[in-house]
Amino acid sequence: MKLAFHFFLFTLLSLDMQAQDICKNFFLNNKVVAHRGAWKQKNIPQNSVASLKEAFRLGCAGSEFDVRMTADARLVLCHDETFFGKTVEYSSYAELSETKLANGETIPLLDTILFEAMKQTDTRLFLEIKPASTRDNTMRSTAKIVNLVNTVGAQPWTFYITFDYDAAKLIKVLSPSASVAYLSGNVAAERLAADKITGLDYNKDVLKKDAGIAEKARREGLSLNVWTVNSPEDMDFFIAQGFDYITTDEPELLLEKTHENSDR
């Protein structure tokens, strides 16, 4: 068992080193991350291939989506623990596929999303790893996700985000050059930097309440992301604060605002 794990780790690290040499510095930098894809204006299902493609069409810097692992170890896009009444973690992919999204899509597989992303070079994937019911299952899911991303060569397109701090640290062990941001808002910038986490991605209310969080993050060289920013006033605030990424359900409006600011 230990020998198999060490071989698995060696394979991941080798792929990670290869990924450092490709796909650098060509993604858009307009700050806009479409939350669960760009879905709201056109009434597209969230976490769908269609919402991802719409984020690409709009020219967003990133498209966020949520990943869970099924009972038969398939990696699927789903925000909630359940999908049309079926608990994702305890259901097979075939069982989940019996119910379609509103646009007729089957619940998307992660590899489908990765391959779609790799067809273009503007928009990154903000891949949220959802926690499972147990720590062991969360770690298994995390390792499987990182393995898939690296195996298909999608790491340069992928910015991992997670509420689970152990998962964030595991990603950096398995893929040291991967971009990883922590979501929960309860870890100091100094600790994030010490654990080699790339950045923080905290709720807007946490960051507005304590401006010192962003200041400390900048001093530590961390990237700054914020979620979920939907009001024009909050958009203006975080643009003015120089955040690297702003996650929103209103990417069209935020794109207008970032373009206005870039013209000034």
pLDDT in tens, 28-84: 999 999 999 999 999 999 999 999 999 999 999 999 999 999 999 999 999 999 999
Angle separating helix axes 2-19 and 165-174, nearest 10 degrees: 80
Helix extents (H) in the chain: 2-19, 49-58, 93-97, 110-117, 135-151, 165-174, 189-194, 204-209, 212-219, 232-240, 251-262
Domains of the chain (ranges; CATH) run 31-262 (3.20.20.190)
Neighbours of 146 (CB within 10 A): 27
Q: What is the pLDDT of residue 26?
A: 84
Query: 195: part of which helix (H) or strand (E)?
Result: none
- The CA-atom distances, in angstroms, between 97 and each of 50, 92, 108 are 17, 9, 9
Residues facing 33 on adjacent strands: 62, 247
**Structure tokens belonging to residue 193:** 């930097």
Contacts of 136 (CB under 8 A, 6+ apart): none
Q: To the nearest whole number, what is the mean pLDDT of the chain?
A: 92
pLDDT in tens, 111-168: 999 999 999 999 999 999 999 999 999 999 999 999 999 999 999 999 999 999 999 9
Residues facing 66 on adjacent strands: 128
- The CA-atom distances, in angstroms, between 144 and each of 50, 64, 75 are 24, 19, 8
